[in-house]
Amino acid sequence: MQLACSKCAIRDWSPADEADLVRHADNRNIWRNLTHMFPHPYTAADAHQWFATLAAMPEPTHWAIEVDGHAVGGIGVSIGEGVFSKKADFGYWLGEPYWGRGIMTDAASAVAPYAMERFGLCRLEAAVFAWNPASMRVLERCGFVREGISRAGVFKDGQIIDEIDYALVDCGRLTSASSRLTHTLG
Ligand SMILES: CC(C)(COP(=O)(O)OP(=O)(O)OC[C@H]1O[C@@H](n2cnc3c(N)ncnc32)[C@H](O)[C@@H]1OP(=O)(O)O)[C@@H](O)C(=O)NCCC(=O)NCCS
Protein backbone atom coordinates (compact mmCIF):
# COMPACT_ATOMS: atom_id res chain seq x y z
CA MET A 1 0.00 0.00 0.00
CA GLN A 2 1.26 3.48 -0.83
CA LEU A 3 -0.59 6.77 -0.41
CA ALA A 4 1.06 10.06 -1.28
CA CYS A 5 0.00 12.95 0.95
CA SER A 6 1.26 16.50 0.75
CA LYS A 7 3.37 16.36 3.96
CA CYS A 8 4.09 12.63 4.21
CA ALA A 9 3.61 9.27 2.56
CA ILE A 10 1.66 6.33 3.96
CA ARG A 11 3.09 2.90 3.23
CA ASP A 12 3.40 -0.62 4.62
CA TRP A 13 5.70 -1.17 7.59
CA SER A 14 8.89 -3.09 6.85
CA PRO A 15 11.30 -4.86 9.24
CA ALA A 16 13.87 -2.36 7.87
CA ASP A 17 11.97 0.32 9.83
CA GLU A 18 12.96 -1.22 13.16
CA ALA A 19 15.43 1.46 14.24
CA ASP A 20 13.12 4.32 13.22
CA LEU A 21 10.15 2.65 14.91
CA VAL A 22 11.95 2.15 18.20
CA ARG A 23 13.48 5.65 18.07
CA HIS A 24 10.11 7.37 17.73
CA ALA A 25 7.77 4.98 19.54
CA ASP A 26 9.87 4.80 22.69
CA ASN A 27 8.39 8.00 24.08
CA ARG A 28 6.30 8.46 27.18
CA ASN A 29 4.46 11.42 25.66
CA ILE A 30 3.18 9.14 22.91
CA TRP A 31 2.45 6.16 25.19
CA ARG A 32 0.47 8.45 27.50
CA ASN A 33 -2.14 9.06 24.79
CA LEU A 34 -2.52 5.49 23.56
CA THR A 35 -4.10 2.33 24.95
CA HIS A 36 -2.32 -0.42 26.86
CA MET A 37 -1.65 -2.15 23.53
CA PHE A 38 1.19 0.32 22.92
CA PRO A 39 4.17 -0.64 25.10
CA HIS A 40 6.48 1.56 27.11
CA PRO A 41 9.41 1.44 27.02
CA TYR A 42 9.22 0.45 23.35
CA THR A 43 12.02 -1.99 22.59
CA ALA A 44 13.41 -3.84 19.56
CA ALA A 45 11.49 -6.91 20.77
CA ASP A 46 8.27 -4.88 20.63
CA ALA A 47 9.12 -3.83 17.07
CA HIS A 48 9.70 -7.48 16.09
CA GLN A 49 6.37 -8.42 17.64
CA TRP A 50 4.67 -5.63 15.71
CA PHE A 51 6.14 -6.73 12.39
CA ALA A 52 5.11 -10.34 13.14
CA THR A 53 1.55 -9.20 13.92
CA LEU A 54 1.34 -7.35 10.62
CA ALA A 55 2.86 -10.27 8.67
CA ALA A 56 0.20 -12.59 10.09
CA MET A 57 -2.64 -10.43 8.74
CA PRO A 58 -4.21 -11.31 5.39
CA GLU A 59 -3.62 -7.67 4.54
CA PRO A 60 -2.07 -5.09 6.87
CA THR A 61 -4.52 -2.60 8.35
CA HIS A 62 -1.82 -0.48 9.96
CA TRP A 63 0.76 1.54 8.06
CA ALA A 64 3.86 3.65 8.52
CA ILE A 65 3.89 7.41 8.13
CA GLU A 66 7.02 8.32 6.20
CA VAL A 67 8.69 11.72 6.20
CA ASP A 68 12.02 12.40 4.49
CA GLY A 69 12.49 8.69 3.79
CA HIS A 70 12.00 7.58 7.40
CA ALA A 71 9.10 5.94 9.21
CA VAL A 72 8.19 8.51 11.87
CA GLY A 73 4.78 7.33 12.99
CA GLY A 74 1.96 4.87 12.55
CA ILE A 75 -1.69 4.96 11.52
CA GLY A 76 -4.29 2.29 10.99
CA VAL A 77 -7.60 0.64 11.71
CA SER A 78 -8.61 -2.30 13.88
CA ILE A 79 -11.64 -3.81 12.20
CA GLY A 80 -14.50 -5.22 14.26
CA GLU A 81 -15.88 -8.74 14.03
CA GLY A 82 -19.36 -10.16 13.56
CA VAL A 83 -22.01 -7.48 13.95
CA PHE A 84 -19.20 -4.93 14.29
CA SER A 85 -17.56 -5.90 10.98
CA LYS A 86 -18.51 -2.67 9.24
CA LYS A 87 -16.76 -0.47 11.76
CA ALA A 88 -13.21 -0.06 12.95
CA ASP A 89 -11.18 1.74 15.58
CA PHE A 90 -8.99 4.40 14.00
CA GLY A 91 -5.66 5.15 15.63
CA TYR A 92 -2.39 6.96 15.01
CA TRP A 93 0.76 8.32 16.56
CA LEU A 94 3.63 10.50 15.36
CA GLY A 95 7.21 10.94 16.55
CA GLU A 96 7.35 13.97 18.83
CA PRO A 97 9.89 15.97 16.76
CA TYR A 98 7.28 16.06 13.98
CA TRP A 99 4.33 17.32 16.02
CA GLY A 100 2.60 20.56 15.10
CA ARG A 101 3.40 20.57 11.37
CA GLY A 102 0.02 19.37 10.14
CA ILE A 103 1.40 15.93 9.31
CA MET A 104 -1.25 13.88 11.12
CA THR A 105 -4.10 15.97 9.74
CA ASP A 106 -2.65 15.26 6.31
CA ALA A 107 -2.16 11.55 7.00
CA ALA A 108 -5.50 10.93 8.70
CA SER A 109 -7.50 12.77 6.05
CA ALA A 110 -6.02 10.42 3.43
CA VAL A 111 -6.10 7.17 5.40
CA ALA A 112 -9.65 7.43 6.80
CA PRO A 113 -11.41 7.37 3.39
CA TYR A 114 -8.88 4.88 2.01
CA ALA A 115 -9.51 2.40 4.84
CA MET A 116 -13.29 2.77 4.61
CA GLU A 117 -13.24 2.07 0.90
CA ARG A 118 -10.64 -0.70 1.02
CA PHE A 119 -12.25 -2.67 3.85
CA GLY A 120 -15.91 -1.88 3.13
CA LEU A 121 -16.45 0.04 6.37
CA CYS A 122 -19.17 2.55 7.15
CA ARG A 123 -17.91 3.80 10.51
CA LEU A 124 -14.54 4.72 12.01
CA GLU A 125 -14.37 5.34 15.74
CA ALA A 126 -11.68 7.20 17.63
CA ALA A 127 -11.56 7.49 21.40
CA VAL A 128 -9.43 10.38 22.61
CA PHE A 129 -8.22 10.88 26.16
CA ALA A 130 -9.56 14.13 27.59
CA TRP A 131 -6.08 15.62 27.95
CA ASN A 132 -5.36 15.33 24.21
CA PRO A 133 -6.88 18.34 22.41
CA ALA A 134 -4.41 18.07 19.51
CA SER A 135 -5.84 14.69 18.53
CA MET A 136 -9.40 16.00 18.82
CA ARG A 137 -8.46 18.82 16.47
CA VAL A 138 -6.95 16.36 13.97
CA LEU A 139 -10.15 14.31 13.97
CA GLU A 140 -12.41 17.34 13.64
CA ARG A 141 -10.38 18.60 10.68
CA CYS A 142 -10.81 15.17 9.07
CA GLY A 143 -14.60 15.30 9.39
CA PHE A 144 -15.03 13.17 12.52
CA VAL A 145 -17.93 14.18 14.75
CA ARG A 146 -17.76 14.31 18.52
CA GLU A 147 -20.49 11.91 19.62
CA GLY A 148 -20.12 11.90 23.36
CA ILE A 149 -18.03 11.42 26.44
CA SER A 150 -17.34 8.20 28.28
CA ARG A 151 -17.02 9.75 31.72
CA ALA A 152 -14.19 8.25 33.76
CA GLY A 153 -13.81 5.68 31.00
CA VAL A 154 -10.04 5.49 31.04
CA PHE A 155 -7.39 4.70 33.63
CA LYS A 156 -4.04 5.87 32.26
CA ASP A 157 -0.78 6.99 33.80
CA GLY A 158 -2.26 6.63 37.28
CA GLN A 159 -5.28 8.82 36.57
CA ILE A 160 -8.94 8.23 35.82
CA ILE A 161 -9.95 10.46 32.92
CA ASP A 162 -12.79 10.97 30.48
CA GLU A 163 -12.67 9.51 26.99
CA ILE A 164 -14.02 11.68 24.18
CA ASP A 165 -15.72 9.64 21.49
CA TYR A 166 -15.41 10.65 17.83
CA ALA A 167 -16.73 8.92 14.71
CA LEU A 168 -16.71 9.31 10.96
CA VAL A 169 -19.72 7.71 9.29
CA ASP A 170 -20.16 7.13 5.58
CA CYS A 171 -22.62 4.40 4.65
CA GLY A 172 -23.51 5.88 1.26
CA ARG A 173 -21.23 3.60 -0.70
CA LEU A 174 -22.46 0.49 1.13
CA THR A 175 -26.10 1.53 0.88
CA SER A 176 -25.83 2.08 -2.86
CA ALA A 177 -23.99 -1.25 -3.25
CA SER A 178 -26.73 -3.07 -1.35
CA SER A 179 -29.43 -1.25 -3.37
CA ARG A 180 -27.73 -2.39 -6.54
CA LEU A 181 -27.66 -5.94 -5.18
CA THR A 182 -31.36 -5.78 -4.25
CA HIS A 183 -32.12 -4.44 -7.71
CA THR A 184 -30.09 -7.19 -9.38
CA LEU A 185 -31.75 -9.90 -7.30
CA GLY A 186 -35.17 -8.34 -7.86
C1 LIG B 1 -2.02 13.89 18.41
C2 LIG B 1 -0.96 13.86 17.31
C3 LIG B 1 -1.21 12.68 16.42
C4 LIG B 1 -1.09 15.14 16.51
O5 LIG B 1 -0.24 15.07 15.37
P6 LIG B 1 0.27 16.41 14.65
O7 LIG B 1 0.88 16.04 13.35
O8 LIG B 1 1.07 17.19 15.60
O9 LIG B 1 -1.13 17.13 14.40
P10 LIG B 1 -1.38 18.33 13.39
O11 LIG B 1 -0.18 19.21 13.39
O12 LIG B 1 -1.86 17.77 12.08
O13 LIG B 1 -2.64 19.05 14.03
C14 LIG B 1 -2.66 19.33 15.41
C15 LIG B 1 -3.78 20.33 15.65
O16 LIG B 1 -3.97 20.39 17.05
C17 LIG B 1 -3.81 21.73 17.47
N18 LIG B 1 -3.27 21.67 18.82
C19 LIG B 1 -2.06 21.27 19.19
N20 LIG B 1 -1.97 21.35 20.53
C21 LIG B 1 -3.15 21.81 20.98
C22 LIG B 1 -3.66 22.11 22.24
N23 LIG B 1 -2.95 21.94 23.34
N24 LIG B 1 -4.95 22.55 22.33
C25 LIG B 1 -5.70 22.69 21.23
N26 LIG B 1 -5.26 22.43 19.98
C27 LIG B 1 -3.99 21.99 19.88
C28 LIG B 1 -2.88 22.34 16.47
O29 LIG B 1 -2.97 23.75 16.45
C30 LIG B 1 -3.41 21.72 15.19
O31 LIG B 1 -4.60 22.33 14.78
P32 LIG B 1 -4.62 23.39 13.57
O33 LIG B 1 -4.13 22.63 12.37
O34 LIG B 1 -6.04 23.79 13.45
O35 LIG B 1 -3.70 24.49 13.95
C36 LIG B 1 0.46 13.77 17.91
O37 LIG B 1 0.61 14.80 18.84
C38 LIG B 1 0.74 12.45 18.59
O39 LIG B 1 1.18 11.50 17.95
N40 LIG B 1 0.48 12.37 19.92
C41 LIG B 1 0.73 11.14 20.68
C42 LIG B 1 -0.15 9.98 20.23
C43 LIG B 1 -1.61 10.36 20.16
O44 LIG B 1 -2.08 11.25 20.82
N45 LIG B 1 -2.34 9.63 19.29
C46 LIG B 1 -3.75 9.85 19.13
C47 LIG B 1 -4.51 9.09 20.18
S48 LIG B 1 -6.26 9.44 20.07
pLDDT tens, 109-149?
999 999 999 999 999 999 999 999 999 999 999 999 999 99
Contacts (Cβ under 8 Å, ≥6 apart) of 34 = 91, 93
Which residue out of 103, 104, 111 has the highest number of ligand 1 atoms within 8 Å of its CB and is therefore the one to mutate? 104
Domain 2-185 CATH assignment equals 3.40.630.30? yes
Give the pLDDT of residue 172.
84
Higher-pLDDT residue of 126 and 180 is 126
Domain ranges of the chain: 2-185
Candidates 113, 165, 117, 106; CA nearest to 141 is: 106
pLDDT band at 178 (very low <50, low <70, confident <90, very high): low
Ligand 1 centroid–CA 149 distance in Å is 19
